[in-house]
Amino acid sequence: MNYSELAPPYIRAIAPYQPGKPIAELERELGISGIVKLASNENPLGASPRAIAAMHEAINDIARYPDGNGFELKSALSQRYKIDTANIVLGNGSNDLLELAARAFLAPGDKALYAAHAFAVYALATQAVGATGISVPATKDFGHDLPAMLHAAVQHKVKMVFIANPNNPTGTFLSAAELLQFMRALPSNILVVLDEAYNEYLPENLRYDAVSWLHKGNGEAVGHPMASPLRELNEFPNLIISRTFSKAYGLAGLRVGYALMHSEVADMLNRVRQPFNVNSVAQAAAVAALGDLDFVRQTCEMNQRGMAQVTQGFRKLGLEFIPSLGNFVCFKIANAQNKLNASQAYRRLLELGIIVRPVANYDMPNYLRVSIGLESENEKFLSALEIILGKNIGQQILGEAA
Ligand SMILES: *Cc1c(COP(=O)(O)O)cnc(C)c1O
């Protein structure tokens, strides 16, 4: 007997998530150090010194279970977003929250909808509970086609729609106006999970405040500390906004995220989460990180410079890329001019000590995704790219670096 047959067919059908290759793994394989990992959209600046100090402090109490209600972190988030703590659910990374949403609301026979090339976890979370995933073709620029998603959601009577803004791996972005139009047209018994893992990276002119959409009417906060969550009359009680401390806050290894939603929706997510799903060190670090606005600002500024550096490099090399509003960018490595396919290019970059991310599993077989790193890391990446493309302007850039 094959033990996999004991698992339900929908579990057996799951194609596991493919994480970025860890640095230590490539070091073991190549026997070299100095590897540059630009594969998981991590913060190349590390974490806020305040968060690190808070972790050291929290270690002293590590024998205790964490606060299962996350009082301190929820209070900090409540103040930041002017929202009641009953509207907040904490997660072991925002990945946990995506799964909790699926687990709380989807059952076998239910349908969930997401865009082609959207973050892989939406499909995984849907499949893991035996629900059916529907992928809606993207626009010609790899972005979410919201009108098509609206149509499909109604037509297929789906229960949940996942939207990533900006999306990973494409970096594509939906404006506030497009999102609002979608939300207003969507029947309110369809839940929307708006995944804003890269929200902090948005430039000033594109910023929007989805959290205000959870407030009553046009912006009147329901989040007064004394307000009863039961009296909420959100404009969009079907909206779940998820955010993470893994990206701009630089705490990916800790696993902590949060989601904001109507209290009745939050109640359902809380019923299926582990009682202690966010560890105590993570909770303490997240509170400190949330307060370090300077660190997030530095991160975004560095990301903007790095994005300009990397995309300029692509232009010099004649490589197409998908304009991105995240801390990563997809570029078309396999084209008519070179004889490389994306997986060959990925492997050759690995040999040169550079880890990027293949995206063939996102139906983008000719692309690779690179995370924006420190200036020096971006430079190493571009130099390696020139080497594998056999372009002699590589020498020029290496020369400039020296
Ligand atoms: C990275 C990422 C997340 C989840 O990250 P966590 O570390 O689990 O918080 C969620 N959504 C998107 C689109 C991401 O890229």
Q: Provide the 10 A C-beta neighbour count for residue 238.
A: 19
Cα–Cα distances in angstroms (integers) from residue 54 to residues 324, 359, 361, in the given order: 33, 36, 38
Indicate whether residue 197 lines ligand 1 (CB < 6 A): yes
Indicate whether residue 327 lines ligand 1 (CB < 6 A): no
Indicate whether residue 164 lines ligand 1 (CB < 6 A): yes
Kindly give the distance from the C-alpha atom of residue 101 to the centroid of ligand 1, in angstroms, as a whole number: 14
pLDDT digits (tens, 9 = 90+) for 133-169: 999 999 878 999 999 999 999 999 999 999 999 999 9
Please determine, for residue 54, whether its predicted confidence score (pLDDT) is greater than 90: yes
Is this prediction's pTM over 0.75? yes
Residue at 368: amino acid letter: L
* pLDDT on residue 216: 60
* pLDDT on residue 18: 85
Angle, vertex CA 65, rays to CA 64 and CA 71, nearest 5? 110
Q: Average per-residue pLDDT in the chain?
A: 92
Instruction: Work out the average pLDDT over 276-297.
Output: 98
Residue nearest to atom 12 of ligand 1 (CA): 197
Ligand 1 site-directed mutation target among 92, 119, 325, most atoms within 8 Å of CB: 119
User: What are the two backbone dihedrals, phi and then psi, of residue 191, each rounded to the nearest 5 degrees?
Assistant: -80, 145
Indicate whether residue 99 lines ligand 1 (CB < 6 A): no
Nearest atom (ligand 1) to Cα of 252: 7
Indicate whether residue 40 lines ligand 1 (CB < 6 A): no
Tell me the CB-side half-sphere exposure of residue 296, using CA atoms within 13 A: 21
Three-class DSSP category at 138: coil
Q: How many Å apart are CA 175 and CA 106, to the nearest integer? A: 28
Ligand 1 site-directed mutation target among 124, 193, 195, most atoms within 8 Å of CB: 195
Please determine, for residue 222, whether its predicted confidence score (pLDDT) is greater than 60: no
Q: How many Å apart are CA 297 and CA 307, to the nearest integer? A: 15
Please determine, for residue 92, whether its predicted confidence score (pLDDT) is greater than 90: yes
Ligand 1 site-directed mutation target among 92, 193, 247, 273, most atoms within 8 Å of CB: 247
Three-class DSSP category at 50: helix
Domains of the chain: 20-46+294-401 (3.90.1150.10), 49-291 (3.40.640.10)
Kindly give the distance from the C-alpha atom of residue 246 to the centroid of ligand 1, in angstroms, as a whole number: 7
Instruction: Work out the average pLDDT over 107-119.
Output: 97
User: What are the two backbone dihedrals, phi and then psi, of residue 173, each rounded to the nearest 5 degrees?
Assistant: -135, 145
Dihedral, 20, 169, 211, 264 alpha carbons, nearest 10 = -70
pLDDT digits (tens, 9 = 90+) for 389-401: 997 544 444 444 4
* pLDDT on residue 32: 85
Instruction: Work out the average pLDDT over 35-51.
Output: 97
Helices (H) and strands (E) in the chain — how many of each? Answer: 14, 13
Kindly give the distance from the C-alpha atom of residue 327 to the centroid of ligand 1, in angstroms, as a whole number: 12
Kindly give the distance from the C-alpha atom of residue 242 to the centroid of ligand 1, in angstroms, as a whole number: 9
Please give the helix or strand (H or E) that residue 329 lies within, else none.
strand 328-332
Cα–Cα distances in angstroms (integers) from residue 221 to residues 42, 214, 229, in the given order: 33, 8, 11
pLDDT digits (tens, 9 = 90+) for 231-263: 444 689 999 999 999 999 999 999 999 999 999
Indicate whether residue 66 lines ligand 1 (CB < 6 A): no
Q: How many Å apart are CA 265 and CA 160, to the nearest integer? A: 12
Please determine, for residue 1, whether its predicted confidence score (pLDDT) is greater than 60: yes
Indicate whether residue 201 lines ligand 1 (CB < 6 A): no
Please determine, for residue 9, whether its predicted confidence score (pLDDT) is greater than 50: yes
Ligand 1 site-directed mutation target among 114, 163, 244, most atoms within 8 Å of CB: 244
* pLDDT on residue 401: 42
Burial of 22 (0-12, 13-18, 19+ CB in 10 A): middle
Please determine, for residue 360, whether its predicted confidence score (pLDDT) is greater than 70: yes
Token representation of residue 327:
């801390």
Nearest atom (ligand 1) to Cα of 245: 9
Q: How many Å apart are CA 139 and CA 105, to the nearest integer? A: 28
Instruction: Work out the average pLDDT over 283-299.
Output: 98
Please determine, for residue 227, whether its predicted confidence score (pLDDT) is greater than 80: no
Q: How many Å apart are CA 19 and CA 50, to the nearest integer? A: 28
Positive or negative: CA dihedral 77, 118, 295, 176: negative
pLDDT digits (tens, 9 = 90+) for 317-352: 999 999 999 999 999 999 888 888 999 999 999 999
Nearest atom (ligand 1) to Cα of 118: 13
Please determine, for residue 188, whether its predicted confidence score (pLDDT) is greater than 90: yes
Nearest atom (ligand 1) to Cα of 195: 11
Ligand 1 site-directed mutation target among 18, 94, 163, most atoms within 8 Å of CB: 94
